[in-house]
Chain A
Amino acid sequence: MTVLADLSAGMLRTESFWIDQGSKLGFAAIAIVVFLAIVGLVMFLADNAPKRGRDVIQLLLFVAPALLLLAAGMIWPALQTIWQSVTSKAGEFVGLDNFVTIFTDPTMQVVMRNTIVWVIFVPTFSTIVGLAYALFIDRSRGEKILKSLVFMPMAISFVGASIIWGFMYTYRSEGFPQIGLLNQILVWLGLSPYQFVETPPWNTFFLLVVMAWIQTGFAMVVLSAAIKGVPAEIVEAAELDGATAWQRFLNVTLPWIRGSLVVVVTTITISTLKVFDIVRTMTGGQYNTSVVANEMYTRAFRLNQPEIGAALAVLLFVLVLPIVVYNIRVLRAHKEAH
């Protein structure tokens, strides 16, 4: 009870706390009501559109809102970003100068190297562990719970995950009691505590572990569904032929889930390229840990170098593009085959 009393006392200290919060929530509620009322009105108009040209009017009312928003909020901004990436801050056309900068600047080279390390290790690690786990727990007792445990990080924000792992990595000087589990393990093993987050170049690996920790759950869930799609007859036939578990995996399961495997690897690769929150929360890009997505934010919004930020955003786009195209192709081939 004292807890509640303390809490409310603390909140009431800012006198208008409840009024402020209440009015904010009211604002959101009104926004939703107004929005739905407009949608209702649109539906009403569509209902009562004049017979002539009714189809066209209804069509417009249905697609126009989404398309206008996308045109104004994505297509137009994307084009502007592309333009900004080839101009100077003053707005003069400078060709590829900004791109030359992002590839030659010494700090940027560290950023590029880190991004490559992330893109290689996160998808590989997550997919392998996720696949192994999905296989291990397939049809086992308690499969649901075991799945939930590894899948759970997917629900946690990158920020939350960064703090969870930051705590795992906490460092105290030698001789002081360690409060981070990993350093405590080092001490138990008779080693010196280690500054996981602050010591380059390995700190990049300790940061990307956070992303891999989250993405493993995603890989596991998608691959587990794919594994369950393998027809039981084929597995049984292989079993009767005397194939070992490993042979069955290599010759039956793996070819069958190939499509899902590609989707998992490419999807994780794309998320890894775009993730910014982890580096931002754990180091802010210090200690040589920055990656392209984080650097984009830092340059554009912290260092007032929007042209460099734009060039980095375009670079992200160019990196993501071939992966998505490949992804779509595999998916389409997969759909046709089934």
Chain B
Amino acid sequence: MSAAVAPEPTVAAPPEGKTKRVKKRLTSRTATFFAILIATLWTIPTFGLFISSFRPRQDINNSGWWTMITNPSFTFDNYVTVLSSSGASSASLGVYFVNSIVITLPAVVFPVTLALMAAYAFAWIPFKGSSWLFVLVFALQIVPLQMALIPLLKIFNYPWLDIGGTFPAVWIAHTIFGLPLQIFLLHNFISEIPRDVMEAAKVDGANHAQIFRRVVIPLSVPAIASMVIFQFLWVWNDLLVALVFSGGTAKTAPITQRVAEFAGTRGNQWELLTSAAFIATIVPLIVFFALQRYFVRGLLAGSTKG
């Protein structure tokens, strides 16, 4: 986690000649212009979707969202429509939203906990073949998810297991796919805990389980927070694992799957698509804005994800 964002250094402006100062201000003015241009270009698409989701159906289909300025209109109807169930075949989007929560919470707790334990063992329990095994785990990041899908689905469908299309299948799949990166990053962090701290605990007679609980976990809270957010965003936003393992019915499918389905079957009903997409996006956006620091930290540490 050494790559955390450095605090902004406040550099005092060195005394400069007049011409130089003017020139500098000019370049920084063009820089500011381009920065604002890029920021605007990057924000407009999301903004347009957000605005549209609050426009009446008639207006969405007959005028662009930018006409809101001259011809304002506002409604919650789109949200009501997608959230209420309309007929037997199409369950309310709320059901899928709940499914996403049901999928995400365990699919975050499981891998982070298991990875934390394994990372501790790799970092502080010396054993034969430790570094070899760790390299193997690290190397597993290379294996694309796609490599494991078909056989893993088969395993889930074995008669003695038979969990294909259920929540546990999705949880286990996410847990497995999350482990390599989580173990790797947590190991990087845990292995940097000063040796003295560990030795002191050992001298006090603590065994590994006690050290893990009393020393490692409290010291790793920032790293754990990063990993939790990382895994949370990954699972909540995932489509592929959900498509393959959730079975695709209202019983288990997450909101991403439902929204992707909408895009396919109701591609022209923008009043539904915009509000549905916004509902699917709001949770990760809140998490993102509230915990951006930890997310950035995880990202900087994890920019090796393969």
Contacts and interface: CB of A to CB of B under 8 A. Distances in A.
B227 interface: no
Interface string A185-228: 00000000000000000000000000001001110011011001
Main secondary structure of the interface of B (DSSP, over half): helix
Contacts of B143: 74, 78, 317
B98 interface: yes
A58 B270 contact: no
B300 interface: yes
A257 to B, nearest CB: 12
Contact of B35 (A3, A58, A136, A280): A136
A129 B136 CA distance: 35
Contact of A222 (B95, B103, B171, B303): B303
B207 A159 contact: no
B68 interface: no
Interface in B96-116: 98-99, 101-103, 105-106, 109-110, 113-115
Contact of A316 (B147, B236, B276, B281): B147
Given A74-B140, A167-B270, A317-B144, A46 B209 contact: yes
A229 interface: yes
Nearest to A284: B264
Contact of A180 (B44, B64, B155, B305): B64
A90 to B, nearest CB: 16
A320 B144 contact: yes
A82 B62 CA distance: 52
Interface in B230-274: 233, 236-240, 243-244, 256, 259-260, 263-264, 267, 270, 273-274
Interface residues of A, number: 133
A31 interface: yes
Given A164-B277, A280-B260, A73 B152 contact: yes
A248 B66 CA distance: 41
Question: What bracket does the count of chain B residues touching chain A fall in?
Answer: 35 or more
Interface string B271-292: 0011011001100110111001
B70 interface: no
A309 interface: yes
A267 B240 contact: no
A73 B176 contact: yes
Interface in A10-33: 10-11, 13-14, 17, 20-21, 24-25, 27-29, 31-32
B141 interface: yes
Contact of B263 (A10, A133, A281): A281
Interface string B60-90: 1111111000000000100110011110000
B84 A7 contact: yes
A184 to B, nearest CB: 5
Contacts of B209: 43-44, 46-47, 58
Contacts of A80: 150-151
B233 A77 contact: no
Given A65-B114, A228-B6, A163 B259 contact: yes
A-B residue pairs, 10 tightest by C-beta? A10-B84, A157-B237, A73-B176, A155-B288, A77-B151, A62-B121, A66-B118, A46-B209, A136-B35, A77-B148
